[in-house]
């Protein structure tokens, strides 16, 4: 990184605004990223612990680069959309090198009478293109549009929530009548029993397409034209609806997206990254056994880094939390592209601690471990592991452990519900 360090960061003239940045070597774009605050985001790449916080590929990218360029956007949401479009256009090698291309996310629009928006991984989209269906989504049919790739699933989910408040749409949950009724009541899904509503809904879908293509200006012009036409016809309710959409588009509230970068911004201002990964196993008498990983970095939960694991190595009906933990931790370290943890936290006693310690030795990983021991009411009562770390990071450890327990139970319930519904067919 010596080449870039020797340069003055101020020369790039980076604004404290949202947008997209480009790491370049000559004319070649090596990496594209989005930012809540371009100045702070790029500054984070000059942190002393870059290899720990972002990994060796990003360190190599910074070393190879000779300059940074940028493009501002009116909101973080639009930065996310622009990032995806530019990654698709330029295919920067370090974007795909940092993360397996198959694990990128896409948004597809189904070719149906009432189209649905569905978020899928690239690998699932490839399966759909070959077989025509993705069984777990209960989706079958053709794809009208596909947008992406999006590197961060958590940010994309938050983006879709924001877009849905402006332009309501149906998603994969529309297969369940109760779900669809619930989203209709919230104003997030159209009334499919009203034939006249379909024309308005298709306008929404088209506006969503334009938004994902980065054509917000065209949407605003169309809505302002609609507003004037409805006003001339004295259709004031429809004119007001178009006006609200114009206001929402020009005042996008993307606080949910801003939080994703808060931690990295803190690191860029002098803090050192400390990543805690917490693991937990959930099952009922050895059935539907699942494992999860939650992440707390510098005292903040990072849900975009959470991971779910369906335990495969333990026989159904067999209760073996030690083997389940071993499998989950092993599979986690099969992903060197994920940021490396400073501490691993497990739920349980000395047995769970020893199971993870043995697994890490077997796979050649040297990471500090700490287990959270619970009382009869499943409340934390003690730690087993390095006392200095337990004392210094007690609050963060308990937060990560609590999150892993909650996340594991939620995932286990989802698995049980799917199995129940499957048997009921």
Q: What's the confidence (pLDDT) of residue 69?
A: 92
pLDDT tens column, 374-418: 887 778 888 999 898 898 899 999 999 999 999 988 888 888 777
Q: How far is CA 25 from CA 46, 59, 86, 93, 120, in A?
A: 17, 14, 17, 12, 32
Q: 371 phi and psi, to 5 degrees?
A: -110, 145
Q: What's the confidence (pLDDT) of residue 139?
A: 56
Q: What's the confidence (pLDDT) of residue 120?
A: 82
Q: What's the confidence (pLDDT) of residue 270?
A: 45
3-class state of residue 247 by DSSP:
helix
Q: What's the confidence (pLDDT) of residue 266?
A: 47
Q: What's the confidence (pLDDT) of residue 263?
A: 46
- Please tell me the total number of residues recorded for the chain in this structure: 425
Q: What's the confidence (pLDDT) of residue 307?
A: 92
Q: What's the confidence (pLDDT) of residue 55?
A: 66
Q: Please report, to the nearest 10 degrees, the dihedral formed by the alpha carbons of residues 244, 250, 253, 256 taken in order.
A: 120
CA 395 to chain centre: 24
Query: What gap in Å lies between CA 161 and CA 245, rounded to an integer?
Result: 15
3-class state of residue 115 by DSSP:
coil
* For the chain, domain boundaries: 2-97, 102-214, 215-250, 274-423
Query: What gap in Å lies between CA 315 and CA 275, rounded to an integer?
Result: 32
Q: Are 141 and 129 in contact (CB under 8 A)?
A: no
List helix spans (H) across 269-349.
321-332
What is the fold, at CATH topology level, of the domain defined by 2-97?
Answer: GIY-YIG endonuclease (3.40.1440)
Q: What's the confidence (pLDDT) of residue 356?
A: 92
Is the CATH code 3.40.1410.10 the one for domain 274-423?
no
β-partners of residue 292 are: 280, 308
Q: What's the confidence (pLDDT) of residue 151?
A: 79
Q: What's the confidence (pLDDT) of residue 171?
A: 84
Q: What's the confidence (pLDDT) of residue 337?
A: 75
Task: Give the residue ranges of the chain where pLDDT is below 50.
Answer: 1-3, 5-6, 135-136, 262-263, 265-271, 424-425
List helix spans (H) across 191-272.
197-212, 216-232, 236-250, 255-258, 262-268
Q: How far is CA 176 from CA 183, 411, 421, in A?
A: 11, 19, 11
Q: Are 200 and 187 in contact (CB under 8 A)?
A: no
Half-sphere exposure of 219 (CA within 13 A, CB side): 25
Pull the structure tokens for residue 222: 């169309």
Q: What's the confidence (pLDDT) of residue 102?
A: 57
Q: What's the confidence (pLDDT) of residue 370?
A: 93
Do domains 2-97 and 274-423 share one topology? The answer is: no
Q: Are 296 and 278 in contact (CB under 8 A)?
A: yes
Q: Report DSSP state, residue 303.
A: G
Pull the structure tokens for residue 133: 């269906």
């Amino acid at each position: 990184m010596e080449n870039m360090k020797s340069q003055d960061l101020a020369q790039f003239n980076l604004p404290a605004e949202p947008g997209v940045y480009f790491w370049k070597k000559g004319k070649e774009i090596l990496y594209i990223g989005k930012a809540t605050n371009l100045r702070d985001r790029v500054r984070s790449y000059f942190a002393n612990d870059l290899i720990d916080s972002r990994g060796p590929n990003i360190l190599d990218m910074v070393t190879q680069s000779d300059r940074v360029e940028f493009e501002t956007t009116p909101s973080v949401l639009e930065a996310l959309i622009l990032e995806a479009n530019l990654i698709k256009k330029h295919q920067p090698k370090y974007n795909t090198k940092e993360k397996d291309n198959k694990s990128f996310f896409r948004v597809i629009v189904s070719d149906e009478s009432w189209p649905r928006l569905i978020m899928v991984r690239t690998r699932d989209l490839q399966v759909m293109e070959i077989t025509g269906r993705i069984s777990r989504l209960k989706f079958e049919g053709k794809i009208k549009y596909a947008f992406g790739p999006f590197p961060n699933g958590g940010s994309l989910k938050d983006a879709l929530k924001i877009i849905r408040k402006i332009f309501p749409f149906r998603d994969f949950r529309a297969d369940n009548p109760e779900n669809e009724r619930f989203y209709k009541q919230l104003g997030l899904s159209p009334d499919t029993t009203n034939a006249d509503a379909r024309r308005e809904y298709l306008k929404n879908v088209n506006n969503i397409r334009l938004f994902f293509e980065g054509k917000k200006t065209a949407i605003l012009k169309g809505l302002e034209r609609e507003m004037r036409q409805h006003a001339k016809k004295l259709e004031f309710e429809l004119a007001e609806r178009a006006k609200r959409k114009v206001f929402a588009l020009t005042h996008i509230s993307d606080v949910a997206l801003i939080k994703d970068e808060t931690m990295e911004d803190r690191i860029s201002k002098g803090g050192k990254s400390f990543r805690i990964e917490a693991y937990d196993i959930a099952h009922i008498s050895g059935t539907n056994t699942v494992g999860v990983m939650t992440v707390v970095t510098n005292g903040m939960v990072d849900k975009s880094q959470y991971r779910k694991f369906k335990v495969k190595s333990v026989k159904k009906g067999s209760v073996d939390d030690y083997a389940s933990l071993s499998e989950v931790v092993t599979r986690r370290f099969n992903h060197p592209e994920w940021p490396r943890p400073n501490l691993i936290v497990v739920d349980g006693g000395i047995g769970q601690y020893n199971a993870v310690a043995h697994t890490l030795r077997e796979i050649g990983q040297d990471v500090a471990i700490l287990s959270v021991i619970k009382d009869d009411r499943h409340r934390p009562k003690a730690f087993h592991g390095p006392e200095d770390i337990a004392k210094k990071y007690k609050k963060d450890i308990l937060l990560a452990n609590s999150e892993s327990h909650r996340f594991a139970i939620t995932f286990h319930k989802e698995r049980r519900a799917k199995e129940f519904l499957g048997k009921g067919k």
